[in-house]
Structure 1
Amino acid sequence: MQLPRWTRSFWLGAATLALSLAGVSKAADFLHESPAERDARMAWFREARFGMFIHWGVYAVPAGEWQGKTHYAEWFLEQTHMPVSQYEQFARQFNPTRFNARQWVRLAKEAGMRYLVITSKHHDGFCLWPTALTDWCIRSTPFKRDPLGELAEACRAEGVRLCFYYSIMDWHHPDYAKRRPWNDRATGEPDMDRYVAYMKGQLKELITRYGPLGILWFDGQWEDVWTAERGRDLYNYVRSLQPDIIINNRVGKGDVGDYGTPEQHIPATGMGEGVDWESCMTMNDHWGYNKHDQNWKSPATLVRNLIDCASKGGNYLLNVGPTAEGLFPEPAIERLKAIGRWMRVNGESIYGTQASPFRKTPWGRATRKPGVVYLHVFDWPKDGRLLVPLRNQVRRVRALGSPDARFDLHRQEEQLLLVAQGVKPDPLATVLALEIEGDPDPVVVYPEPDARGRLTLPAEDAVILGHTARLETKGGRPNIGFWTDAKDRVRFEARFRQPGRFRVEVEYALSPGSDGSRIRVSAGKAALEATLHSTGGWDQFRTIPLGELDIRQPGVVAIEVTPLAKPGEAVMNLRRLVLTALP
């Protein structure tokens, strides 16, 4: 078996293709469409809310292990610096005879997933379909079938939308401009224009052979050889082939694309009004198959991630990394089935919903549809009493998993107090449907100092004002991390019944390389400044006093944390502020 040869027919085809595509991309401009046109195109995506991501390729053969190290997956070639000629030998061993497309799609469908995104070509350049444009594809393996064709047929049969991931970056192709030193197969000078022609030819194959597709999910756009202009051109080209296709924001440099793609995290407050987005996340710690990675998220975590995304107006794209034999790992199957059991009961609270009307709900999350607010209660109260910050008149309350449950409704100040009987709590999330009159009219509830004068402001309550800082989890608790832009700041809001002087403490983590960060904590016109020293690492948290602040007026007060100096890579990881009233 010869691996691979860049065929003469490809180069002739590429030259013709480059000429023909130039006219197409210039003639079509899909970057400007009316709000109604965009809404029509995005409608199914907003309805779906839940999809399956699949990372699969020849990197599944080493299964994450090489020369005693066990942390590899789909980035195997880049991380090991293995010569491309050696990496190609994995294709000889890629023979997934146990692959069953219908089974994969049914597992996704039974989990409640409405669409499926699979890596047609990842960064290693290997193509999961028998492309006419290179031999570095499924044809060069013992497995002579067409996995993408079989998945396309299975998706049509099961009513699941087929979508393709496609990497712009290519560590294998000789014309990709940022050629790796270990690409010992490539000869001559790279030619990015010729590579783009190759890429467009492959995208045309994918759309015309297996489409219509739901999404083209691009990735690998961050290297400087890929420009904003090329991104806009590629967006237009793909839409010229299928005008109603959806394209993610990784096609360009932030100026083009139909939706945002936060990776391995859920934005603390979504991505803003009118912005479509989708969090892609792994079930364990790797995208591709790694036989050593048994750090699987619990079904409760996965279901609550889905709820969290929907409650902030986004989608959840949950990944599976199949084995080289073509099987989903058994722990992944178990989790998919657990999610499916929950979705069969509670799916109406996810599909087609909009973001929560509430700023914060201490018992969980909320979603809504016209006339209905869904409450997702993570820890059901033992006394069955639930306080909901909602002013509306409630016509009816339903417990989705307990059809015989009964509810008494009361008012506690402006909020709605539900007193439930007969609800069977779900350990993943218990869902109540409140059928209301009119649009949701939420009550804004601000944290207040407790009876001892202590006010805790955790990271998850903060409004992050900026572009890099975001909510993450370390040690099982949320913190604001990735605070690499000193222009970003963090705001909390709290209600003070009376003025007073408060001691301010911060719980934070800081690496030695970022020692000496300086911050200002302000409340109205009062402020204090402090220098933060290393705690030993980004996951080693410490609580220290910062100083004292005067709260001069009662009422709602904005408390802001603003960087003054960032000598290292980030300001800090912020877990919480604590204010304690002084005598």
Structure 2
Amino acid sequence: MMKTLAVFLSVAVLTGSLHAEEMDAMWGATTVKLRAEDAQRGELFDEGNYAMFIHWGLYSQLGNQVNGKTYYGIGEWIMDPKMAGIPVEEYKQLAATFNPTEFDAKAIVKLAKDAGMKYIVITAKHHDGFAMYDSAACDFNIVDSTPWKIDPMKELSSACREAGLGFGFYYSHSQDWTFPGGRKGPEVDAEGKPATFEDYFTKKCVPQVEELTTQYGPIELIWFDTPGGMPKECVQQLVDIVRKNQPRALVSGRAGHDLGDYQTLGDMEVPHHNVEGMWESVDTTNDSWAYAWYDERWKTPREILRRLITCVGRGGTYMLNIGPSGTGAVPQRAAYALSEAGKWIHRYPQVVYGTDASPWEHALPWGDVTIKGNRLFLSVFDWPESGKLYLPGLKTRIESASLLEGDAARPVVHTTQDGWSVFELPATAPEKLVSVIEVKLEGEPEVDPTFGLNPNTATEILAEFSTATGAKIVKHRWMEKFGEWVCEYPARGWRPDAKVVWEVDVLTPGDYDVGLTYAGEGRLVWAVDVVGGEHIQNQQNSSHNYQEFSIGWIHFPQPGRYQVAVTCLEGNLESASLKSIRFERVH
């Protein structure tokens, strides 16, 4: 991440109280700097760290219900044979009744701004081929085909400019299910002649990308998607169009062939370890990207903040989606969660904007860390009842520590013990959602990222942070419902002699309860060893999904570094998939 704000921020002394006006003045520079009209190429992405995604189209009118039947999964794929399998001509007829009179561009932009987001990206054309703007390249668009006759993209781009937010488009550049020649689209044209991908690309895709990059003012980002099967020269041509018409705009990594400006992780994937370079995580406020009538599984304000700060702490950007209904209205509960999380962000903008990744390279048992120069921001999600917060591995000397309460701060007593920093905290957390401790260091942070076993709360360590022998750390990605992805990096492919090993730092010796989270078939026997010390093993049942099972207590006789090894001894070893180990001090 860029560090252009670090020098300015480091002059603010937060060991005493600050007035709201002083805070506003200090962070006002950040807000102005990150306005779209002032930003350099990619600055809103790289320093803003938080954006709104919008999935909205004809599919929103169906809301995952077709002919009285509900289909469970992501709504924008409702045409797909694995969902409702709607024929092209039948789907096109939906446009005649699409009349989203509750769409309010200014209200959506206000929601994004209140939420603390720095730019908006909306679906101009998804895989269904329907253009949500006035397109001359195809009459299957919101102005020519619907009774509404309005171009919402003009309204939204204008509202973003007025509010100082960036604006961008999602565009499905390879898939088009309703235009002849588009991937997964009709194989013949209106006259019954065979259609090729070149027909689609030259007649629709290229002209529409030209339209989107020339008719809506400054664009921050073009978010291409699903390039599978698209020749590299075609992707390059689209990127060249963006570069020519919008030289300040970024191109998403999903353009294909490594021609994008940054990496986009898998849908709904929030990484556990730091990721190098510029990247983003794309997520949604419930389960479906597009509106689904039944989907009320909303992320809470606290969960939104946890996933946002995790992404920022791993060095990336978080783009969070809303799915307006067919009427154009934003679901009220999504708006509530975003607004409540936004109130916290506006109180603590220094935690989110213009920050660098955590030098620990992973989350900590109580929360996460972001940094600016020589300042650490500890975001505490799980407040310690003992009144002591433990931070392992910090080598740089602490100059001061403060517990922030909006525009005020109070000093925090801190000590060092066996390489751990210990902060004395009040019994009650000052913030309902996330409390923040600012730590000012004497220099740039130097950290040993070894996992420390927290003395007063459970410490979970993922398999992806282990060293595996005879087993492999692999990406395990699956769908809970159609298109709703879950991603883990477990240890799999176990042999009788296989093991995974973690190094841990123990501050407080004693007995620790050990649990393993894993999936598999039938009963499995797992062993846990302190290398050179105690051995325990136990048989427990498996689950098709990842579930934690207790293995037993294990002893660490004194403070210091230990290696802990896990092996799978008996059962269906080929099915065993170990996600993590958990330690919780007993006494």
TM-score scaled by length of structure 1: 0.77
Give distance in 2, aligned partners of 1:206 and 1:147. 13
Q: Deviations over 1:43-80 (max 9, x none)?
A: 33111111001000011111221232242511111121
Matches within 5 A, 1:314-325: 314-325=316-327
Q: In 2, distance between residues paired with 1:579 and 1:375? A: 22
How far is 1:436 from its partner?
2.2
Per-residue CA deviation, residues 528-573 of structure 1 (Å, 9 max, x unaligned), is 9x9x99935225665679xx9xx9xx9443747799x9998x7625
> Where in structure 2 are the equivalents of 1:529-548 lying within 5 Å?
535-539=542-546
Measured after TM superposition, the shift of residue 408 of structure 1 is: 2.2
CA distances 1:371-417 after superposition (whole Å, capped 9, x unpaired): 31101011223454323333323245251437153322322233332
Match of 1:508 in 2: 518
Higher RCO structure, 1 or 2 (CA under 8 Å, sep 6+): 2
Q: Is the 8 A contact 1:128 1:147 kept in 2?
A: yes
Measured in 2, the distance between the counterparts of 1:42 and 1:481 equals 29
Give how far 1:220 is off: 1.9
Q: Please name the residue that 1:52 is paired with.
A: 52
CA gap of 1:363–1:518, structure 2 versus 1, over 3 A, is closer
SS where residue 335 of structure 1 aligns? helix
Match of 1:481 among 485, 488, 507: 488
2:439 corresponds to which residue?
Answer: 434
> Could you say which residue in structure 2 is the equivalent of 1:32?
none
Find the partner of 2:128 among 124, 133, 140. 124
Match of 1:159 in 2: 164
**Kindly tell me: are residues 378 and 560 of structure 1, through their superposed partners in 2, closer, same or farther at Cα, counting changes over 3 Å?**
same
SS of 2:408's partner is coil
2:69 maps to: 68
Is the alpha carbon distance of 1:459 and 1:448 closer, same or farther for their aligned partners in structure 2, counting shifts above 3 Å? closer
| 1:58/1:94 contact within 8 Å kept | yes
2:104 corresponds in structure 1 to 100
CA RMSD of aligned residues (A): 4.5
Q: Check if 1:147 corresponds to 2:147.
A: no
**Partner residue of 2:368?**
365
Q: How far, CA to CA, are the matches of 2:515 and 2:372 in structure 1?
A: 41
Q: 2:125·2:170 contact (CA, 8 Å) conserved in 1?
A: yes
1:291 CA displacement = 1.5
Match of 1:405 in 2: 410
Q: What letter corresponds to residue 445 of structure 2 in structure 1?
A: P
Q: State the distance in 2 between where 1:456 and 1:336 align.
A: 29
Give the Cα–Cα distance (whole angstroms) in 2 for the partners of residues 93 and 472 of structure 1. Answer: 32
- Give the letter for the 2:238 counterpart: L
Measure, in 2, the Cα distance between the counterparts of 1:186 and 1:362: 63
Aligned length: 524
Name the SS for the 2:307 alignment partner: helix
Flag structure 1 segments of 5+ consecutive residues without an equivalent.
Answer: 1-38
Residues 573 and 538 from structure 1, CA distance in 2 versus in 1: closer, same or farther, beyond 3 angstroms?
farther
- Match of 2:348, as an amino acid? N
Q: What residue in structure 2 maps to residue 226 of structure 1?
A: 230
Q: What is the SS of the residue equivalent to 2:42? A: helix
| Aligned counterpart for 2:254 among listed residues 250, 254, 275 | 250
- Higher mean displacement: 171-180 or 282-291: 171-180
| Structure 2: distance between partners of 1:456 and 1:335 | 28
Cα 1:520–1:425, aligned 2, differ >3 Å: closer, same or farther? same
Change (3 A) 1:100 1:369: same
Which amino acid in the other structure matches residue 51 of structure 2? G
- SS at structure 1 position matched to 2:124: strand
Contact 2:175/2:183 (CA < 8 Å) preserved in 1?
no
1:277 to 276, 279, 282: 279
- Please say if residues 126 and 137 of structure 1, whose CA atoms lie closer than 8 Å, have aligned partners that are also in contact: yes
State the partner residue of 2:177: 171
Alignment of 1:544-563 (within 5 A): 555-557=561-563, 559=565
Paired residue secondary structure (1:164): strand
User: Would the aligned equivalents of 1:386 and 1:419 in 2 still touch at CA under 8 Å?
Assistant: yes
The alignment partner of 2:264 has SS state of coil
Q: 1:334 aligned to 2:339?
A: no
- Structure 1 counterpart of 2:193: 188
Distance 1:406 1:541, change over 3 A: closer
Q: Structure 1 residue 238: deviation in Å?
A: 2.4
- Would the alpha carbon gap of residues 82 and 259 (structure 1) be closer, same or farther in structure 2, given more than 3 Å must change? same
Match of 2:24 in 1: none
Contact 1:517 1:572 in 2 (8 A): no
Q: SS of the residue aligned with 2:62?
A: coil
State the TM-score, normalizing by the size of structure 2. 0.76
> What secondary structure sits across from 1:331 in the alignment?
helix
* Partners of 2:252 and 2:261 within 8 A in 1: yes
| Counterpart Cα distance in 1 of 2:165 and 2:289 | 21
Post-superposition offset of 1:322: 0.3
- Give the secondary structure class of the aligned counterpart of 1:77: coil
CA contact (8 A) 1:161 1:213 kept: yes
Q: Distance in 2 between matches of 1:376 and 1:115?
A: 24
SS of residue paired to 2:325? coil
1:561–1:43 Cα change, 3 Å: farther
Q: State the match for 1:381 in structure 2.
A: 384
C-alpha separation in 2, matches of 1:296 and 1:100: 22
The alpha-carbon deviation at position 213 of structure 1 amounts to 0.9
Give the direction of change, closer, same or farther, for the CA distance of 1:186–1:152 in structure 2 (3 Å limit): farther
Q: 1:309 aligns with which of 307, 311, 329?
A: 311
CA 1:381–1:402 in 2, change beyond 3 Å: closer, same or farther? farther
Q: CA deviation at 1:259?
A: 2.5
- CA distance in structure 2 between the aligned counterparts of 1:143 and 1:268, rounded to whole angstroms: 45
Alpha-carbon distance in 2 for matches of 1:366, 1:305: 13
Does the 8 A contact of 2:285 with 2:334 survive in 1?
Answer: yes
Q: Call closer, same or farther: CA 1:461–1:353 in 2, change over 3 Å.
A: farther
Q: 1:543 to 1:371 in 2, by over 3 A?
A: closer
Letter in 2 for 1:438: G
Q: Provide the rounded CA distance (Å) in 1 between the counterparts of 2:288 and 2:207.
A: 30
Decide whether aligned partners of structure 1 residues 329 and 193 sit closer, same or farther in structure 2, where only a CA change above 3 A counts. Answer: same
- Structure 1 residue 213 and structure 2 residue 219: aligned? yes
1:468 aligns with 2:475: yes
The amino acid of 1:104's aligned partner reads I
Question: Contact 2:476–2:487 (CA<8 Å) still a contact in 1?
Answer: yes
Q: Look up the SS of the partner of 1:44 in the other structure.
A: helix
CA distance in 2, matches of 1:326, 1:335: 18
Counterpart of 2:420 in structure 1 is 415
Within 1, Cα distance between the matches of 2:565 and 2:232? 38
Q: Is the 8 A contact 1:162 1:215 kept in 2?
A: yes
266, 271, 286: which one pairs with 2:270? Answer: 266
Provide, for residues 232-273 of structure 1, a one-character-per-residue CA deviation record: whole Å limited to 9, x for no partner.
4433342233233111111114564422233212111032x3
Displacement of 1:490 in angstroms is 6.4
